Structure 1
Amino acid sequence: MVVSDQYSKKPHLAVLPSPGMGHIIPLLELSKRLVIHHGFHVSFLVITTEASAAQNQLLRSPTLPPDLHVIDLPPADVSHLITDDTLVLTHLCLIVRESLKPLRSILTQLDRPKALIIDPFTTEAFDVCRDLSIPVYSFFTPSTSLLAFSLYLPTLDREVEGEFVDMPEPVQVPGCTPMRTEDLLDQVRNRKNEEYKWFLYHVSRLKMATGIFANSWEDLEPVSLRALKQTRFFQDMPIPPVHSVGPLIKETEPLTESDKEIMTWLHKQPCESVLFVSLGSGGTLSTEQLTELASGLEMSQQRFVLVARRPTDASASAAFFNVGSDVNDPAAYLPEGFTKRTEGVGLVVPSWAAQVAVLRHRSTGGFLSHCGWNSSLESIVHGVPMIAWPLYTEQRMNATMLAEEVGVAMKPVARGGERVIGKEEIERVVRLVMEGEKGKVMRRRVKELQESARNALNHGGSSYDSLSLVAESWKDELAHEVLEM
């Protein structure tokens, strides 16, 4: 595992994501940019415990650049810690804690990289790296709005009694847009459970980072980025420098035979006429809600690609740890006769689809999305307006921001007091986005941000320059160390 002589002349970094495609993908894309655009050698440390099929496929791609080395951490035994009732974040954090026990030895074998880049839930690395004198940077994988909230949470925790969801007014993060309590992420809705304690623990440690990378750019989240850099509260904290380096999304992915069939079908459809329906790598619907969604799609008479996953009434995040391995027959759970009645207009795909390839296709004109941050960025980068269908974690916050602040999404509304969104509302929103005036306004706005995103990442753009600034500082420090030897 020691870095070989052929890389000794290149500055060496290590990157450590937590499990889950929402964490793996953006940190892998950051690693690629550091290798390709900035001349680094990167060791990508992978937590293998309960790794999903989709994660394994992604990290074994033959297209990874030569100077990006994927290093598997030894699997950890968590069977005695996790039960069927363990919530998803607690589950993830226990896997991370147990998997990082050999981290000190691994970093030592790697000859102590110049820096370690972690994500929000691998903060145990701070303690190891402090002893090894390795600076740690945090790549905050969700939105910058959630970053600002997370940095404010320890203060909120000290000052507010009772539950945040019971507060009479929206949460006012200093310098940011007020946040409705009903949009708060799941992990802070019950301060008595383990998920809240884990989330508070990790975000409280963000201040220990040497710097924070944000997967966003100035035109997308100007308010929260300005607040982090200029508001007195964050200056007095103080927080580490925040570097906006996004949008970093998956640029390519291998196509399976099923994906190729989707592409063939899309080739035959008119430009921007197809609604892509996919609720993320881990999202699932209840049986009743999936029935209403399918019925609403059928009633709308719009073309669609539906990525179908077996419904469950247990948890919206039920598929989080088995992404890509949920083999199923949609005919067993979709409304009887649905695939037959929508044949030619719709295409049903079980479990998983090459999302970037579909969003990039000229025939895709809308995206019914769970509003995970990766999916939201992918939709914007490819100029596709969204129907916001949040399921868990911070997705409600993202959905509200994308609809009300950014102007690239529309949220369907459940009838008063009901948890299920009815088929009539789904039909209405699908028609509005795909052929209505509201959809045209959203499409124009998302095309503007598509161009803005491209400019930000190009040489001389704000995100490119932001990453370059940090990369050059690492190289300067390395050169100084060599001179002192």
Structure 2
Amino acid sequence: MNQTPHVAFLPSPGMDHLIPLIEFAKQLVHHHHFSATILIPSAAPPTKAQKTVLQTLPKTIPHIFLPPLQLPIDINNGIPNLPHHDSLSLPSLKSTLSSLTATIHLAALVVDPFGLEAFDVAKEFGLSPYLFFSSTAMVLLFCLNLPKLDETVTGEYRDLPEPIQLPGCVPVHGKDFLDPVQDRSHDSYKELLRNMNFVDLEEGALKALQDEGLGKPPVYPVGPLIQAGSIEGLERSECLQWLDGQPSDSVVFLTFGSGGTLSQDHLNELALGLELSGQRFLWAVRSVGKMSKIEWVPNVFCSGSEEVKCSLSRDKSHGEDS
């Protein structure tokens, strides 16, 4: 049996979950002498985008598609229910892990926030479970502090007259909290109760995460993780040609993920702020209601370009700007 420590990665459906975990797996394999396998749950045949990304994997990082799921019609309505999807994937995950552990020294299972139910499966196989939190350190800090806020705050957070100070972070008004916590009677809030980041960007929040007192496991910043390699056609992009001609550290890059949209009011406010700033910027905008066909900015290359001074992104699952 191969004794090299082997890590299994279980991303939730969606490219925004698959790509960061793939890049994390590459880092562990190339720089820390681990072995890795990507386990991909699915309810349909792999998309062209998935195939393109998986083709960038080195031969030393195999990937396995779990058997396709038959999603109930009442939740298969075009809006992914990721926790439900991952829950239905657990029997297939158990079967796949059983086969893997028979031939390799599997040491750990890494999941994203929608795959937390897989922690119990990991323990069944004697694996160390890890959560890969690809949003910001501030969002993670908020989630860890939410039980305390729930105990001490009366009423809805959006109605609080004063902003709330989280350790290591700027004060935040309750009306600007994550969407799932705006209605404390909603199931999403109750469920929330039950990092692609790096130290230079969020030093205060990361220090607070590493302090004692939250009753939490260790937190390790592992970013920035940038998709490596070239994707056919991107080198001819007009926006990248423009970016190449800008001075270093002079451009603000704005992107809101593969499923992120803003209301017209938010777009107007953001556009006004950019105009008043006088800053060069590159902005990927998705029109509301046009989810199937978009014009997009190649995030891979923008994030790694020396011309980009800072990046504004949006966690599409929680509605939090960072």
The TM-score bracket by the shorter chain reads 0.7 to 0.9
CA distance in 2, matches of 1:139, 1:268: 31
Aligned partner of 2:94 in structure 1 is 104
Q: Structure 1's 69 and 193: CA in aligned 2 closer, same or farther, altered over 3 A? A: same
Q: How far did 1:279 drift? A: 3.7
Q: Does 1:191 align with 2:184?
A: yes
Q: Which amino acid aligns with 1:110?
A: L
Q: 1:261 aligns with which of 236, 242, 245?
A: 236
Equivalent position SS for 1:154:
helix
Q: 1:18 aligns with which of 12, 21, 38?
A: 12
Aligned partner of 2:43 in structure 1 is 49
CA distance in 1, matches of 2:111, 2:314: 26
CA distance in 2, matches of 1:228, 1:275: 27
Q: 2:295 aligns with which of 351, 360, 368?
A: 351
Provide Cα deviations, 1:437-485, integer angstroms capped at 9, x if missing partner. Answer: xxxxxxxxxxxxxxxxxxxxxxxxxxxxxxxxxxxxxxxxxxxxxxxxx
Provide Cα deviations, 1:182-231, integer angstroms capped at 9, x if missing partner. Answer: 22111211222232233333xxxxxxxxxxxx332332222122222224
Structure showing greater radius of gyration is 1
CA distance in 2, matches of 1:301, 1:240: 43
Aligned partner of 2:227 in structure 1 is 250
- Gap runs ≥5 in structure 1: 202-213, 313-317, 320-325, 328-349, 366-382, 399-485
Q: Structure 1's 110 and 160: CA in aligned 2 closer, same or farther, altered over 3 A? A: same
In the TM superposition, what are the counterparts of 1:199-238 in structure 2 within 5 Å? 199-201=192-194, 214-231=195-212, 233-234=213-214, 237=215
CA distance in 2, matches of 1:168, 1:162: 11
Q: Give the root-mean-square deviation of aligned CA atoms.
A: 3.7
CA contact (8 A) 2:41 2:68 kept: yes
Equivalent position SS for 2:132:
strand
Q: How far did 1:29 drift? A: 1.0
Q: How far did 1:173 drift? A: 3.2
Equivalent position SS for 2:220:
strand
CA contact (8 A) 2:160 2:173 kept: no
Q: 2:21 aligns with which of 18, 23, 27?
A: 27
Q: Does 1:165 align with 2:90?
A: no
Q: Does 1:135 align with 2:112?
A: no
CA distance in 1, matches of 2:161, 2:23: 41
CA distance in 1, matches of 2:146, 2:171: 14
CA distance in 2, matches of 1:217, 1:270: 27
Q: Structure 1's 248 and 51: CA in aligned 2 closer, same or farther, altered over 3 A? A: farther
Equivalent position SS for 2:166:
coil
CA distance in 2, matches of 1:385, 1:51: 36
CA distance in 1, matches of 2:9, 2:316: 26
Q: Structure 1's 147 and 290: CA in aligned 2 closer, same or farther, altered over 3 A? A: closer
- Gap runs ≥5 in structure 2: none
Provide Cα deviations, 1:108-136, integer angstroms capped at 9, x if missing partner. Answer: 11117111111111111111122222111
CA distance in 2, matches of 1:148, 1:67: 35
Q: Structure 1's 266 and 11: CA in aligned 2 closer, same or farther, altered over 3 A? A: same
- Determine what percentage of the aligned residue pairs are the same residue: 36
Q: How far did 1:389 drift? A: 7.5
Provide Cα deviations, 1:336-359, integer angstroms capped at 9, x if missing partner. Answer: xxxxxxxxxxxxxx4334222245
Q: How far did 1:19 drift? A: 2.2
In the TM superposition, what are the counterparts of 1:14-413 in structure 2 within 5 Å? 14-49=8-43, 53=47, 55-61=49-55, 63-82=56-75, 84=77, 91-111=81-101, 113-174=106-167, 176-201=169-194, 214-231=195-212, 233-234=213-214, 237=215, 239-256=216-233, 259-262=234-237, 266=241, 270-272=245-247, 278-285=255-262, 307=284, 309-312=286-289, 319=291, 326-327=292-293, 350-360=294-304, 383-386=308-311, 388=312, 392-394=316-318, 396-398=320-322
TM-score normalised by the chain length of structure 2: 0.81
CA distance in 2, matches of 1:163, 1:85: 30
